[in-house]
Amino acid sequence: MSENAILTLENIKKSYFVEGHRIDVLRGVNLTMKAGERLSLTGKSGSGKSTLLNIMATLEKPDSGRLLIKGEDPAKFSDSRLSAFRNREIGIVFQFHHLLPEFTAVENAAIPLMLTCPKKESLEKAATMLERVGLSHRLNHKPAELSGGEQQRVAIARALVTEPSLLLMDEPTGNLDNETGKMIIALILSIAEERNLTTLFVTHNREFAAEMGRGIEINEGVVGDL
């Protein structure tokens, strides 16, 4: 493993079985992400982008192969250690924000911290993160009272509030209009730069993919540079 690798995938394989049929989604994926590197991941629908992102996020397990994050092998962790590790090291943003409807923006953004920090401190840090994403005027709004772009900015604040080393995003702009999507990309890039954040961004949008430092594509179950 190279010295400053944040994430390494070695020969990752994953298949699904549906009604007796086997779908070989990942057929031996190798990848190294260096500290501060910004990657786009493209590939046609059903090619395995979300499957790969979920494996990197430790939300799904590969059938075989090895995943290392900051030199650690999460497959060796107990469930509770894995949850704590994921919470601290990995920020995840999905296409749909998954914010809790009953909670305000600042409460939603504070959730990952609440597990380990006192409530007051969690809310203060969440408010600072919301300020960074341009939402200091929306702290007490509930998700239904926010626009799509604002909701996604809360989701980004929530992903970053624990100061993870890795930010994984699965089509975070997929549900937004082009202008709002561009604004979200610019925001992510500026935060990634100021924090030396290692970032993987799954997108169908080639214009957005071109904004990242490096482009990779998944095709026939393997990953290659664009």
Ligand X SMILES: Nc1ncnc2c1ncn2[C@@H]1O[C@H](COP(=O)(O)OP(=O)(O)OP(=O)(O)O)[C@@H](O)[C@H]1O
Q: Please give the residues from 26 up to 55 whose contact with Mg ion meets the rule CB under 5 A.
A: 49-50
Is residue 51 at the binding interface for ligand X, with CB under 6 A as the rule? yes
Selection from ligand X, Mg ion, none that 23 binds (CB < 5 to 8 A by kind) is ligand X
Whole-Å CA distances, 115 to 95, 121, 155, 165, 191: 24, 12, 17, 18, 24
- Determine, following the binding rule CB under 6 A, whether residue 23 of this chain makes contact with ligand X: yes
Q: Is 43 in the site for ligand X (CB under 6 A)?
A: yes
Q: Which listed range, 16-24, 72-80, 85-93, 120-128, lies at the site for ligand X (CB under 6 A)?
A: 16-24
81/98 with CB nearer Mg ion? 98
Q: Is 49 in the site for ligand X (CB under 6 A)?
A: yes
Provide the 10 A C-beta neighbour count for residue 8: 18
Q: Is 205 in the site for ligand X (CB under 6 A)?
A: no
Q: Which is nearer to ligand X, 46 or 71 (CB)?
A: 46
The sheet that has 90-93: what strands, in order across it? 90-93, 166-170, 198-202, 38-42, 214-219, 222-225
Contact (Cβ atoms closer than 8 angstroms) between residue 158 and residue 108: yes
111 φ, ψ (degrees, to nearest 5): -50, -50
Q: Does 1 bind ligand X (CB under 6 A)?
A: no
Pick from Mg ion, ligand X, none: which does 75 bind, CB < 5 to 8 A by kind?
none
User: If you count them, how many residues does the chain have?
Assistant: 226
Helix 119-132 / helix 148-160 crossing angle, nearest 10 deg: 130
Residue numbers of the site for Mg ion (CB under 5 A)? 49-50
